[in-house]
């Protein structure tokens, strides 16, 4: 007998969401397009693609949060997977670990930082082992993100901190930290900083040359120190 994909995979329903006639989900697969396996289990929703399944999963978690006050992993899973059908304690532990919080820590299912690992953890737990491979089934990350996006949860854009441009930092950070887009502003400051010691370095006097080199070395050290302080503030 050929092994079948897990039910959640067959139904494009990562959370194994029950069919509720009142819930008019987007992306529900029409009955006349369902195969025999899908028709054999009318309890569960069947979606056209996993994207719609993840969208529905996320919207349900938002409803739990807003309407029922389910703002911790324990509250969410106790409602999602009642103990009469599931090992709820193990479910809670697995999801909390995946999200990176304790079971009773407050979370907001509207926020990507919590919603993304939460829906994936629920989907992985609901799906379990794929009989076709004998290994845990893993959902497509791009489909998860698109499902969240359609539920109104979007990954925040990465924020890049700016390093201040000063005469002390320009020599040490103009190329490595500021980037090509800022070179136009940096180069005049570089020329100014170097020109201040040009006379000493080209004078022919060893004392003046040493003084000029030492001055530039001090400036580089100050620049390096400022960059390190700036980086430490970002970590």
Q: How confident is the model at residue 195 (pLDDT cuts 50, 70, 90)?
A: low
Mean pLDDT of the chain: 82
- Where are the strands (E) in 46-131, listed by range? 129-130
Mean pLDDT of all residues in 75-91:
91
Are residues 141 and 230 part of one domain? no
Q: How confident is the model at residue 23 (pLDDT cuts 50, 70, 90)?
A: very high
User: Cα angle at 12 between 141 and 120, to 5 degrees?
Assistant: 35
* Whether residue 6 has pLDDT greater than 60: yes
Check residue 158 and give its pLDDT.
78
Are residues 177 and 142 part of one domain? no
Asked if the structure places residue 159 within a domain, the reply is no
Q: What percent of the chain has pLDDT over 90?
A: 63
User: Which two three-digit tokens encode residue 179?
Assistant: 């980037």
Are residues 175 and 125 part of one domain? no
Its pTM surpasses 0.75: no
- The 10s digit of each residue's pLDDT in 134-189 is 999 999 999 999 999 999 999 998 766 565 555 555 555 444 444 444 444 544 55
Are residues 26 and 134 part of one domain? yes
Show the 3-state SS of 142-203: HHHHHHHHHCCCCCCCCCCCCCCCCHHHHHHHCCCCCCHHHHHHHHHHHHHHHHHHHHHHCC
Are residues 134 and 25 part of one domain? yes
Q: Which domain holds residue 229?
A: 167-234
Lowest-pLDDT choice from 15-24, 43-52, 80-89: 80-89
Length of the chain: 235
* Whether residue 207 has pLDDT greater than 80: no
Are residues 186 and 130 part of one domain? no
Check residue 197 and give its pLDDT.
53
Q: How confident is the model at residue 49 (pLDDT cuts 50, 70, 90)?
A: very high
Mean pLDDT of all residues in 60-89:
94
Asked if the structure places residue 1 within a domain, the reply is no
Beta bridge partners of residue 129, listed in sequence order:
136
* Whether residue 227 has pLDDT greater than 70: no
């Amino acid at each position: 007998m050929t092994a079948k994909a897990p039910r959640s995979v067959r139904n494009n329903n990562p959370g194994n969401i029950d069919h509720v006639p009142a819930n008019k989900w987007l992306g529900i697969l029409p009955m006349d397009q369902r195969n025999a396996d899908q028709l054999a289990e009318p309890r569960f929703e069947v979606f056209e693609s996993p994207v719609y399944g993840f969208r529905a999963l996320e919207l349900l978690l938002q409803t739990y949060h807003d309407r029922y006050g389910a703002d911790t992993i324990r509250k969410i899973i106790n409602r999602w997977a009642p103990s009469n059908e599931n090992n709820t304690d193990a479910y809670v532990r697995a999801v909390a670990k995946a999200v990176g919080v304790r079971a009773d820590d407050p979370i907001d299912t509207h926020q990507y930082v919590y919603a993304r690992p939460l829906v994936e953890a629920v989907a992985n737990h609901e799906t379990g082992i794929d009989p076709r491979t004998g290994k845990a089934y893993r959902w497509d990350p791009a489909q998860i993100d698109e499902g969240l996006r359609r539920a109104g949860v979007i990954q925040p854009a990465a924020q890049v901190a700016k390093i201040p441009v000063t005469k002390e930092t320009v020599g040490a950070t103009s190329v490595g930290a500021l980037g090509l887009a800022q070179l136009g502003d940096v180069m005049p400051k570089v020329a100014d900083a170097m020109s201040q010691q040009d006379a000493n370095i080209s004078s022919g006097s060893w004392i003046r040359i040493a003084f000029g080199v030492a001055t530039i070395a001090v400036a580089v050290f100050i620049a390096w120190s400022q960059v390190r302080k700036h980086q430490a503030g970002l970590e």
